[in-house]
Amino acid sequence: MSAVNDTEFSSAVLLLTGIPGQEDFHLWISIPFCLVYVISIVGNSVILFIIKTDQSLHEPMYIFRSMLDLALSISTMPTTVGIFLFNSREISLDACFAQLFFIHSLSFIESSVLLLMAFDRFVAICNPPRYASMLTLPRIGKMGLVFVLRGVTLIFPLPFLLKRFRYCRANVLSHCYCLHQEVMKMACSDITVNYIYGFFLNISVVGLDSLFIFLSYVMILKTVLKVASRAECLRALNTCVSHLCAVLLFYTPQIGLAVIHRFEEASPPLLKVLLGYISLFVPPLMNPIVYSVKNKQLHARIIRVFVK
């Protein structure tokens, strides 16, 4: 992309990428992507509806989780469907900045919700007498609001930091959506501030949240291993399975993608593309399935709804 001066900046465009080398099959590839979107949106909407309408299932963290999965699916859907169905690769800089703001802020909020869910399991297993008094609905709502404000506030400067640049390098992105770490590399200006701030965000949010989740499960394991009965031990750990699955689905591709972007020259291009799709499309698809299978109350309620 040629150098973009101040008058041309607002009209400059970036080119999104579907799956490199498979452009002739994009129409066929769009079928599984559309199925993923339909299952993700319908699945999370069903869980939200059931939890909201059934007083016995009012668990705010599951509500937060489903809402985030819905929002994340919607934020990536326009560009993904546009590429695979209509071969529409162009995206304006302003639209790209808006999309990366929503993707990164929702990812940070999702990390916070996973931390809240870990705290929920920690209190339920390690200090059950205080569970009802500590994790009341208003208190969890306030904690959720704090984490939402944290995610939005930390990501808010990114579009403005990117907007001040002049862009003069190749304008082809590696994914079918915009990410800060990719867009900033296309600038012909000094990106040191963006690089340092992006690294700080990953360490202060994803790094700290994952560390606290790990520590909470260390404490949970220590408590569970003290239980004399093997059956009680397995029953306690079984309540953590859905959360552990959500943690692995979220953090594994996120960390892998961050490492690949830091050492881009030594990594296969296709691996970066695949991890990008996994990080944003698999969690919204799998989370409602995992929750509905592992949560017995939710599972029974879903069956009753569909039987009716």
C-alpha distances (whole Å) from 305 to each of 49, 53, 54, 65, 158 are 11, 11, 11, 21, 43
The answer on pLDDT for 101 being more than 90 is yes
State pLDDT tens for residues 290-306. 877 777 777 777 777 77
State pLDDT tens for residues 182-238. 888 888 888 889 889 988 998 888 889 999 999 999 998 888 887 757 777 777 777
Beta bridge partners of 91: 14
Does 78 map to a domain?
A: yes
Amino acid at 188: C
Whole-structure pTM value = 0.86
Domain count, the chain: 1
Does 2 map to a domain?
A: no
Does 24 map to a domain?
A: yes
User: For residue 148, what are its two tokens?
Assistant: 């939402």
Find the domain containing 85 and state its range.
Answer: 9-307
SS3 for 156? coil
State pLDDT tens for residues 206-222. 889 999 999 999 998 88
CATH number at residue 54: 1.20.1070.10
The answer on pLDDT for 279 being more than 90 is no
